[in-house]
Amino acid sequence: MLDALFEELTVLLDDRFSNSEAVLQDHSKDESHHTPTPPDAVVFPTSTEEVAKILQICSKYKIPIIPFGVGTSVEGGVIPIYGGVCVDMSRMNRILQINVEDFDVTVEAGLTRKRLNQELRDTGLFFPIDPGADATIGGMASTRASGTNAVRYGTMRENILNLKVVLADGQIIKTGGRARKSSAGYDLARLFVGSEGTLGIITEVTLRLYGVPAAISAAVCSFPTISDAVNCCILAIQSDIQVARVELLDSKQMEACNRYSKLNYKALPTLFFEFHGSSETVRLQAEEVGKISREFGAGEFKWAEKTEERNKLWQARHDALYAALSLKPGAVAWSSDICVPISRLADCIEETCVDLRETSLVTTIVGHVGDGNFHVIFLLDPENEKEFEEAKRLNVRMINRAIDMDGTCTGEHGIGIGKREYLEKELGEGIQVMRQLKNALDPHNVMNPGKVLTV
Amino acid sequence: MLDALFEELTVLLDDRFSNSEAVLQDHSKDESHHTPTPPDAVVFPTSTEEVAKILQICSKYKIPIIPFGVGTSVEGGVIPIYGGVCVDMSRMNRILQINVEDFDVTVEAGLTRKRLNQELRDTGLFFPIDPGADATIGGMASTRASGTNAVRYGTMRENILNLKVVLADGQIIKTGGRARKSSAGYDLARLFVGSEGTLGIITEVTLRLYGVPAAISAAVCSFPTISDAVNCCILAIQSDIQVARVELLDSKQMEACNRYSKLNYKALPTLFFEFHGSSETVRLQAEEVGKISREFGAGEFKWAEKTEERNKLWQARHDALYAALSLKPGAVAWSSDICVPISRLADCIEETCVDLRETSLVTTIVGHVGDGNFHVIFLLDPENEKEFEEAKRLNVRMINRAIDMDGTCTGEHGIGIGKREYLEKELGEGIQVMRQLKNALDPHNVMNPGKVLTV
C-alpha cells in the first residue's frame, strides 16, 4: 500500500517527496524529551493547492498526516507516533500581503517569526508573539503559542484574523476576512488555533501587527528570594501597570544564561522587564515598577537602553532552554508549562520550589509571570530512567497543583503526546466535546493522530 | 406529544413553566424587524442543573430549544421560528465570584451588563463590553457582541476566560479554568462564543475585568462632511493613538439623539471620543486627536469632563437605535451591521452614502468606526412592504461591498435568521465545517434550529 501511495506522491512532487533515511530522521523528533519515531515519508509542498492534493492522496490510503514546521515543539506535537506522511511546510515561507494601513499581514504557514519581523522592519510595524524558538507562524498558530510579550499583546489566540486551512479530505477553506471583529457564525479561526494539526493543516495566516513603540526600555532587576521576585511581579500586574514584558528567571537559570549568553548579572532570582509607549509613559511605568520592586528588596534596575543591548538581553531569555541544557552536558530538557490565575502564582511557585529543593534533579525555573505562566526545566540524563520517573512525578504534582488553583496544564506548549491524560483531568466531560469535534472534521483520524486526544 | 412534555416540565418547574398567551407573546420577538413567532412554552430555570434537566426532557421529545436572555437581539436570534420551548435565563442572574486580585468575575448567564457594572462599582474594576441594549452576559457571549469600547478592550471573543455550557443532551461541561492563557486542546470557549445558542446553552461565564482608568475624558466633535469624520478616525487609528472609544453619528442620527436624549449638539456628522489612562496620557491622546481632527476641518472639541456628563453622552449613544425610531413614529428599525478593514472604511461609507442619498427611506448611520464597523439604521413602516424590499436591497449592497473589501456581513449583531445566506457568501466552503460542527454537537438539531445555519 505504501508503495502505491509513494508513487502517487512522487508523481505529484518529484524530488519534493523523500523517504531517505536522513530526511526521515530529521522529521522524527522535536525539541522535547519524547522518544523520536520516524515518519514513512516526508513531502515538501510549495502551495496550498499542493497541500490539498497531498491530503486527498493520503486520505484515500487513510495514512497518518503530520504537519511539520521547523520541529521546535516541546510536547511531541510533530512526532509521527503512528508513522505516516510528514508534511514539511518550510518551503511555504512567503509573505503574501502586508497591509500597513490595516496593521495586518498574510503569510504562508512555514514562515518563521524572526524572518517575519525582519521583513517588517521598514514598515514601522512588528509581530509581538515570541516563543523561545524561532518557530514557524503555522506551528505557533497550531499550538496557540505565546511568549514574553503576551502580557501586553495577547497570544496567537488574540492575534489571528484569518486562516487558510486544508481539511483532511483535501478541501480548502478560509475562516473569515480581515475585519477586526466579526459575529459571522462559529469562530472557525479559533477552532484551528491550538488544534495542533489534528483538524487540518494551516497553510496561510493573517496576523495582527502593532506599531513599533515610540519608546522601549528594558531593565534587569535581581531579588533576595524567588518569592520576592514573584510578589513584585504580581503587585505590578495588580496595580494595572502596563508592562510589555515581565519574565522570571531563578538563580540557577541566571547562572546558565550568564554563561551561555555571555551576560554578567548576579546569579539571583531575577525579573526582566520591558516597557513600551511614549518616552513619557515608559518613564512613568518604569518608575512605578521601580517603587514596587524596592518594597520587595530588589537591587538596582540595570537598564538596557540601546537596541543592541536589549536584543542581547531578550535573545538570552529566548535561549534559556539552550542555556539550561548547557548546565548538564549530554542532558535532554523536559520543560513543564503550567499557568494559574495571578493571585495564586506565588503559592504555586513556592510549593513547586519546595518540591524542587527536595529533588536531586538539576532544574531551572523561567516564567512569563505576568500571565501566571512558568516553566520548570528538568535536565535529564537520557540513559537514566530514574531521572525521567522523578521528572514525571514532579511534573504531575505541578499540573495537579495548577488545576486545583483553577489553572491549566499548559499555558503555551500545547498537549501533544505529553499531556493528553492531564487534559482529561483538567476538562472533565469537555474532552468528549473535543472528541466529537475531531470525529466530525476528521472521521478517519488521519490528521496528526494521537496528538491532543488519545486514539 | 406536547402535553406529555409540558407535564414533565411542570413537574420539574411548577410555576416556572408557562404557556400562557402573554408569556408566549413576550418571547416571540426581539428588537428587530423580523416577524415574531411564539414558542410553545417558556421555562424559567434558576440553576445550571435545572437547565440540564430541561434539555434532557426536551431532547427526548426532539423539540426545539431556544435560549433567551432579555430579547434584545437584532437579527431574530431568539425568535422561535419552529416553535418549541423557550429557556428564559433571566432568573439566573447572580454574580457567583468576583476575583478582584485576578481581574475576573464569574456570573450566571442571565445577568445584564449594567447590573454587572453596578455590582462591580466598589471594586475599582469594570467590564467594558457594551452593546447598545442592556443585554445579558449570556446573550452577549452567544452573539460575540461588542460595542463602543471594543477598539481598546476587544469583544466578547477576547474577554471570556471560561464558560459553563449545557449541551443538547443535558450534559454539563466547562471550557477551561481562569488562567489568562492556555494551550490545553481545542478552544471550546471560543466555539460557544458566537454560536447563538445553536450548540448548547451558556449558563455561567467567567469574564475578564479591567481597572477603572485613573483618568477618563470624553469629547464630541463635529465635521463638515461624514467623509471628514471617517477620515479623522482612520488617521487616529493608523497613528496608533490609543483611543478607548471613537463613535460616528451622521447628521440625521445627531438630530435624533439631540431630541431623544435632550442634547444640544450641532446636527452635523460627529465623532464621540473617549480617552482612558493616566491624566497625562489622556491629555496627550486628546491633543494628538485634536490635531488630526483639525486637519479634517473639525469644529471645537466639546468636553464632557464630569462623570454625569459622560454617562449622559454615552447613554445617548447607546440609545441611538431608540432615538432613530423616534424620527418616524410607528416605524420599526432594521439595523445593518457591516465591518471592514479600516483602510477600506472611508470607501465603504462613501459608497453606502451614495446609495442612501438616492433612497426615499429614512435612515441614520452610527458606527464603531475605530473597528471599521458601522450600522445603517433603516426606519420602516411596518405596513409598507415596499420599504422592506428597498431596505433589503440596500442591505444586500452593503453586505456585498463589505465582503468584497475583505470584511464581514456582521461585526457584532450575529447571523440569527437575517444573515444566513450572506454567511454562505462570506465563507464559501467554510460553511460546511460549521454544519459538521453543528451536526456533531446537536445531531437532532434541537438547539435554536434555523439560526446561523439554514435547516
Range A120-138 burial, b when 16+ CB lie within 10 A, else e: beeeebbbbbbbbbebbbb
Quick check: is B452 in a domain? Answer: no
CA separation for the pair A50, A170 (Å, rounded): 9
Please tell me whether residues B82 and B111 are part of one structural domain.
no
Please tell me whether residues A270 and A336 are part of one structural domain.
yes
Please tell me which of the candidates B146, B173, B371 has its beta carbon nearest to residue A433: B173
Tracing cell 539552550 back to the chain, one arrives at A322
Q: What is the pLDDT of residue A109?
A: 98
CA separation for the pair B88, A395 (Å, rounded): 44
CA separation for the pair B387, A37 (Å, rounded): 66
Q: What is the pLDDT of residue B281?
A: 85
Contact B143 A183 (CB under 8 A): yes
Burial class (CB in 10 A: 0-12, 13-18, 19+), B360: exposed
Average pLDDT of span B344-362 = 97
CA separation for the pair A193, A186 (Å, rounded): 13
A97-131 confidence digits (pLDDT tens) = 999 999 999 999 999 999 999 999 999 999 999 99
Domain final residue, candidates B211, B235, B251:
B211
Residue of B nearest to A144 (CA): B183
Decide: B214 and A444 in contact? Cβ < 8 Å.
no
A287-311 confidence digits (pLDDT tens) = 999 999 999 999 999 998 899 999 9
Quick check: is B443 in a domain? Answer: no
Please tell me whether residues A255 and A369 are part of one structural domain.
yes
Please tell me whether residues A50 and A68 are part of one structural domain.
yes
CA separation for the pair A409, B176 (Å, rounded): 10
Q: What is the pLDDT of residue B99?
A: 97
Please tell me whether residues A173 and A219 are part of one structural domain.
no
User: What CATH number does the domain containing B195 carry?
Assistant: 3.30.465.10
Contact A99 B171 (CB under 8 A): no
Domain final residue, candidates B88, B114, B141:
B88
Contact B195 A182 (CB under 8 A): no
Residue A165 has pLDDT above 90, yes or no: yes
Residue A22 has pLDDT above 90, yes or no: yes
Please tell me whether residues B172 and B221 are part of one structural domain.
no
Please tell me whether residues A234 and A332 are part of one structural domain.
yes
Q: How far is B22 from chain A (nearest CA, A)?
A: 32
Secondary structure class of A451 (helix, strand, coil)? coil
Please tell me whether residues B329 and B222 are part of one structural domain.
yes
Quick check: is A392 in a domain? Answer: yes
Q: What is the pLDDT of residue A178?
A: 98
Domain final residue, candidates B177, B211, B245:
B211
B82-122 confidence digits (pLDDT tens) = 999 999 999 999 999 999 999 999 999 999 999 999 999 99
Entry pTM: 0.97
Q: What is the pLDDT of residue A280?
A: 85
Contact B373 A179 (CB under 8 A): yes
Give the least confident one: A30-39, A426-435, B272-281, B372-381. Answer: B272-281
A192-251 confidence digits (pLDDT tens) = 999 999 999 999 999 999 999 999 999 999 999 999 999 999 999 999 898 999 999 999
Please tell me whether residues A340 and A235 are part of one structural domain.
yes
Grid cell listed for B301: 472639541
Confidence tier at B305 by pLDDT (50, 70, 90): confident
Please tell me which of the candidates B240, B406, B426 has its beta carbon nearest to residue A184: B426
H/E element, B333: strand B332-335
ipTM for the complex shown: 0.97
Grid cell listed for A245: 514584558
Domain that holds residue B292: 215-404
Q: Count structural domains, chain A.
A: 3
Please tell me whether residues B203 and B283 are part of one structural domain.
no
Quick check: is B143 in a domain? Answer: yes
Quick check: is B228 in a domain? Answer: yes
Please tell me which of the candidates A173, A182, A452 has its beta carbon nearest to residue B410: A182
Quick check: is B415 in a domain? Answer: no
Quick check: is B54 in a domain? Answer: yes
A to B CB pairs, distance under 8 Å: 273
Contact B436 A441 (CB under 8 A): yes
User: What CATH number does the domain containing B260 carry?
Assistant: 3.40.462.10
Q: What is the pLDDT of residue B1?
A: 80
A319-350 confidence digits (pLDDT tens) = 999 999 999 999 999 999 999 999 999 999 99
Residue B11 has pLDDT above 90, yes or no: yes
Provide the mean pLDDT of chain B. 96
Provide the mean pLDDT of chain A. 96
Quick check: is A179 in a domain? Answer: yes
Contact A408 B171 (CB under 8 A): no
Residue B419 has pLDDT above 90, yes or no: yes
Please tell me whether residues A285 and A373 are part of one structural domain.
yes
Please tell me whether residues B155 and B274 are part of one structural domain.
no
Residue of B nearest to A155 (CA): B181
Give the Cβ contact number of residue B262 at 10 Å.
9
Residue A281 has pLDDT above 90, yes or no: no
